[in-house]
Amino acid sequence: MLKDIAIKLTNVSKKYMVHHEKPTLAERILNGKNEEFWALKNINLTINKGERIGIIGPNGSGKTTLLKLITGIATPTKGKIETNGKIVSLIDLEAGFHPDLSGITNIYLNGTVLGMSKKEIDEKLDEIIKFADIGKFIDAPLFTYSSGMKLRLGFSIAVYSEPKILLLDEIITVGDSSFRRKIKSAMRKMVNNGVTIVLISQWLNLLKSLCNTIYSLNNAEIYKNTL
């Protein structure tokens, strides 16, 4: 893999089996075989270091599946995925958090999951808390947080974990306008430092405001968006 490439997908496909709760007569005749569903088909995509890539597509088009394959949460049915650098994903607001623990404790928990040492978290704790800007809730248990507050905390930890590749779902839209501006500013700084960012959404205007290249994903296939 070339040193200036962050992510490379070669002929990547992902198949799921759809399990029907009540098989039809035809399915019974076919020995109860389940229906195949190809979420992705023959995806070829090369993303260079420092790019801000947007991937647009309707619900069910395979966007989240693609991110899960890149981050290693899922494995492709066919094809090859190569990545170059530490990957941090912000796909699920609940991932890496414990609902009964305080915001501060969750910083240590989530930071450790993202590969940060306790010493590193100690040194960056004040900055993480300041960036998240959730006030006294930083000492409250996570189950008391709104979705926007979880986003603030999760994104703040992700930023200070110093990823080389950052994968984002459109959950970033749950934040208020001031925090979305903070997200944009942080993303630009990360890109200037060589971080590669991949953001998925079904909202073109969001991707246009944050990304410099946009791809469309539909019917399990991907192509460059010219809009």
Q: Could you tell me if 81 and 117 lie in one domain?
A: no
pLDDT given at position 27: 57
Q: Could you tell me if 72 and 139 lie in one domain?
A: no
Closest CA to 37 of 14, 70, 64, 12: 14
Average model confidence (pLDDT) across the chain: 87
Query: Greatest CA separation found in the chain?
Result: 64
Q: Could you tell me if 119 and 148 lie in one domain?
A: yes
Return the structure tokens found at 127: 């900055």
Is 66 domain-assigned? Answer: yes
Is 217 domain-assigned? Answer: yes
Q: Could you tell me if 102 and 138 lie in one domain?
A: yes
Q: How many domains does the chain have?
A: 2
Q: Could you tell me if 59 and 171 lie in one domain?
A: yes
Q: Could you tell me if 113 and 221 lie in one domain?
A: no
Number of CB atoms found within 10 A of residue 87's CB:
21
pLDDT given at position 31: 58
Helix axes 147-160, 118-132, angle to 10 degrees: 130
Q: Could you tell me if 66 and 120 lie in one domain?
A: no
- Say how far apart CA 60 and CA 206 lie, in whole Å: 19
Domain-ending residue, one of 139, 163, 187: 163
Q: Could you tell me if 1 and 103 lie in one domain?
A: no
Is 12 domain-assigned? Answer: yes
Q: Could you tell me if 60 and 171 lie in one domain?
A: yes
pLDDT digits (tens, 9 = 90+) for 164-173: 999 988 777 7
Q: Which domain holds residue 145?
A: 93-163
pLDDT digits (tens, 9 = 90+) for 21-51: 666 666 555 555 667 888 999 999 999 999 9
